[in-house]
């Protein structure tokens, strides 16, 4: 009999470990799916270890409180508190340490995951209680273990279904848009928190109800309602963004047309001058005035060199970029800069075919850098902004230079919310930093001398 006892403990222990691994894996993949593009093994391992410690602590506490069934109610409450808060705090801390950005976003993602994990687990719990009650009363330990496996492992694994759905619709992008503004972020955060609390509150106060058929229907339906709701918000946001991007597309096309018109005007002027000069040259050559012709050629060479329109020069640089999105962003920015009477210099020395990072992320980075440069240059005396894009075999470098009114304090501009112009205007640079830090092949540096401020972004290509 004693052997049987040890055997039981061993199986239970093994189950506990499997359950903890499955739980932490689902937790981790689901929450990081909402937050980051790539999974991070480092955090995953840390979280699994943390989860183990936490799970053992949880059991210890439950045993401690529920030892004599004396304080069963307290045990439930404490258990509930630990169950939710422990894992949440753990994961939030881990993400937050790594990416000191958006607390609200990280916390909300973690809350959603907790909701789904709990939702699935309690559904399976009730299901097994209802329909497999026979097994529960069984003497056979193996069957009891199977039941535990069913509830503790299959339950949380159900979270993977949600993961697949979220991944399919690329929910991450829309999720981020729920945190555009602080107000929106706080609302989402509170809603997610309430969502997470809903199930434990029900099972704590209406414990009887959780054993009914109705509860199972409720558990399934709430899960699906929530995911439908999220998908609805997602598509709604997508449409809104699509509308916005169509507007920008129209703007970009307008900008392109404008620059084409400018080009045409310049070509006309050029043709006109060229004709005049040629007829002058013809007359001089007819008269046999060699020295006159020589001087004339020299003068006209210089004339063309100096008067070759800025428009043509800029377009030549732009033509080196073969990515339409980057090209049109630069066109729009170019017009914006010209409207503000800032001297803009664009240099693209070599052809750019591909960019070593996600184009959307790159566009956001470029936009932020240029917007900041424009803003600072507006306050300066000689208003200059220049952008250099250099494409080499192994890396691509983006350099944005601008003049400034007041010399910025370098270390402060990287802090969130810092800006020389009051509250909440430095958000740009901190999200730039967040994007850049998501990649392992990017390096962002900043430097500054007496007159210019320089932001450099290097993107290394995969070998």
Partner 1 sequence: MISIFACEDDSLIRGAIEKEIKSHIMILNYDMELTLCTGDPEELIEYVRENPKRGVYFLDIELRNSKYDGFDLGKELRKYDSRGFIIYVTSYHDLAFKTFQYHIEALDYIVKSDPEEMLSGIRRCIDTVVKRMEEEANDERKEYYTIKVLDTVKHILISDIYFFETSSRTHRIILYAENERIDFIGKLQEIEDDLSPRFIRTHRSFLLNIDKIKELNVKRNEIIMTNGQVCLMSRQMKSLLIKKIEERSK
Closer to partner 1 by CB, 109 or 400: give it. Answer: 400
CB of 458 to partner 1, least distance (A): 6
CB of 308 to partner 1, least distance (A): 7
CB of 7 to partner 1, least distance (A): 44
CB atoms within 10 A of CB 441: 12
CB of 18 to partner 1, least distance (A): 30
Closer to partner 1 by CB, 239 or 302: give it. Answer: 302
- Rounded to the nearest 10°, the torsion over CA 388, 392, 395, 397 is -10
Closer to partner 1 by CB, 9 or 304: give it. Answer: 304
For the chain, the three-class secondary structure string (H helix, E strand, C coil) is: CHHHHHHHHHHHHHHHHHHHHHHHHHHHHHHHHHHCCCCCHHHHHHHHHHHHHHHHHHHHHHHHHCCCCCCHHHHHHHHHHHHHHHHHHHHHHHHHHHCCCCHHHHHHHHHHHHHHHHHHHHHHHHHHHHHCHHHHCCCCHHHHHHHHHHHHHHHHHCHHHHHHHHHHCCHHHHHHHCCCCHHHHHHHHHHHHHHHHHHHHHHHHCCCHHHCHHHHHHHHHHHHHHHHHHHHHHHHHHHHHHHHHHHHHHHHHHHHHHHHHHHHHHHHHHHHHHHHHHHHHHHHHHCCCHHHHHHHHHHHHHHHHHHCCHHHHHHHHHHCECCHHHHHHHHHHHHHHHHCCCEEEEEECCCECCCCCCHHHHHHHHHHHHHHHHHHHHCCCCCEEEEEEEECCCEEEEEEEEECCCCCCCCCCCCCCCCCCCCCCCHHHHHHHHHHHHCCCEEEEEEECCCEEEEEEEEECCC
Give CA–CA dist 301/299, Å, rounded: 5
Give CA–CA dist 275/432, Å, rounded: 51
Closer to partner 1 by CB, 17 or 349: give it. Answer: 349
CB of 386 to partner 1, least distance (A): 6
CB of 433 to partner 1, least distance (A): 10
Q: Are 436 and 449 in contact (CB under 8 A)?
A: no
Closer to partner 1 by CB, 268 or 441: give it. Answer: 441
CB of 346 to partner 1, least distance (A): 9
CB atoms within 10 A of CB 95: 26
Q: Which residues would be at the binding site for partner 1 (CB under 8 A)? A: 42, 97-99, 298, 301-302, 305-306, 308, 313, 316-317, 345, 347-350, 386, 388, 390, 392, 394-395, 397, 399, 401, 409-411, 414, 437, 440, 443-449, 458, 460
CB of 440 to partner 1, least distance (A): 6
Closer to partner 1 by CB, 34 or 385: give it. Answer: 385
Give CA–CA dist 251/331, Å, rounded: 10
CB of 377 to partner 1, least distance (A): 15
CB of 93 to partner 1, least distance (A): 14
Closer to partner 1 by CB, 50 or 155: give it. Answer: 50
Closer to partner 1 by CB, 5 or 447: give it. Answer: 447
Closer to partner 1 by CB, 130 or 394: give it. Answer: 394
Closer to partner 1 by CB, 313 or 381: give it. Answer: 313
CB of 291 to partner 1, least distance (A): 16
Residue 252: CA atoms inside 13 Å, Cβ hemisphere, count?
Answer: 14
Closer to partner 1 by CB, 101 or 185: give it. Answer: 101
Give CA–CA dist 433/17, Å, rounded: 38
CB of 216 to partner 1, least distance (A): 43
Give CA–CA dist 308/299, Å, rounded: 14
Closer to partner 1 by CB, 230 or 357: give it. Answer: 357
């Amino acid at each position: 009999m004693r052997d049987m006892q040890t055997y039981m403990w061993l199986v239970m222990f093994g189950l506990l470990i499997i359950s903890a691994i499955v739980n932490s894996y689902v937790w981790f993949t689901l929450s990081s799916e909402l937050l980051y593009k790539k999974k991070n093994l480092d955090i995953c391992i840390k979280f699994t270890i943390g989860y183990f410690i936490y799970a053992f602590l949880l059991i210890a506490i439950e045993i401690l409180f529920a030892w004599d069934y004396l304080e069963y109610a307290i045990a439930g409450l404490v258990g509930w508190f630990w169950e939710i808060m422990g894992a949440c705090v753990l994961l939030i801390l881990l993400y937050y340490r790594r990416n000191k950005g958006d607390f609200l976003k990280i916390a909300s993602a973690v809350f959603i995951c907790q909701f789904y994990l709990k939702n699935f687990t309690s559904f399976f719990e009730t299901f097994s209680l209802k329909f497999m009650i026979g097994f529960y009363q069984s003497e056979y330990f193996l069957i009891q273990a199977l039941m535990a496996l069913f509830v503790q492992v299959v339950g949380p694994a159900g979270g993977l279904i949600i993961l697949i759905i979220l991944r399919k619709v690329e929910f991450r992008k829309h999720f981020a848009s729920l945190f555009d503004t602080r107000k929106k972020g706080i609302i989402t955060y509170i809603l997610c928190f309430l969502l997470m609390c809903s199930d434990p509150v029900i099972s704590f106060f209406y414990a009887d109800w959780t054993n009914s058929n109705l509860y199972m229907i409720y558990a399934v339906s709430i899960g699906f309602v929530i995911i439908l709701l999220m998908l609805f918000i997602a598509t709604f946001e997508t449409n809104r963004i699509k509308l916005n991007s169509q507007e920008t597309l129209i703007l970009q096309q307008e900008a392109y047309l404008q620059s084409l018109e400018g080009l045409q005007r310049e070509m006309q002027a050029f043709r006109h001058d060229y004709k005049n000069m040629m007829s002058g040259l013809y007359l001089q050559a007819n008269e046999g005035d060699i020295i006159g012709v020589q001087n004339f050629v020299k003068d006209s060479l210089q004339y063309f060199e100096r008067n070759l329109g800025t428009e043509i020069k800029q377009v030549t640089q732009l033509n080196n970029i073969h990515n339409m999105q980057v090209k049109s962003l630069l066109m729009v920015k170019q017009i914006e800069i010209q409207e503000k009477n800032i001297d803009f210099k664009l240099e693209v020395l070599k052809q750019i075919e591909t960019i070593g990072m996600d184009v959307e992320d790159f566009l956001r980075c470029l936009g932020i850098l240029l917007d900041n440069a424009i803003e600072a240059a507006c306050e300066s005396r000689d208003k200059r902004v220049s952008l250099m894009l250099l494409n080499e075999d192994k890396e691509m470098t983006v350099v944005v230079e601008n003049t400034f009114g007041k010399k910025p304090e370098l270390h402060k501009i990287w802090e969130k919310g810092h800006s020389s112009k009051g509250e909440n205007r430095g958000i740009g640079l901190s999200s730039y930093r967040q994007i850049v830090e998501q990649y392992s092949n990017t390096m962002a540096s900043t430097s500054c001398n007496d007159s210019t401020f320089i932001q450099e972004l290097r993107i290394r290509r995969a070998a």
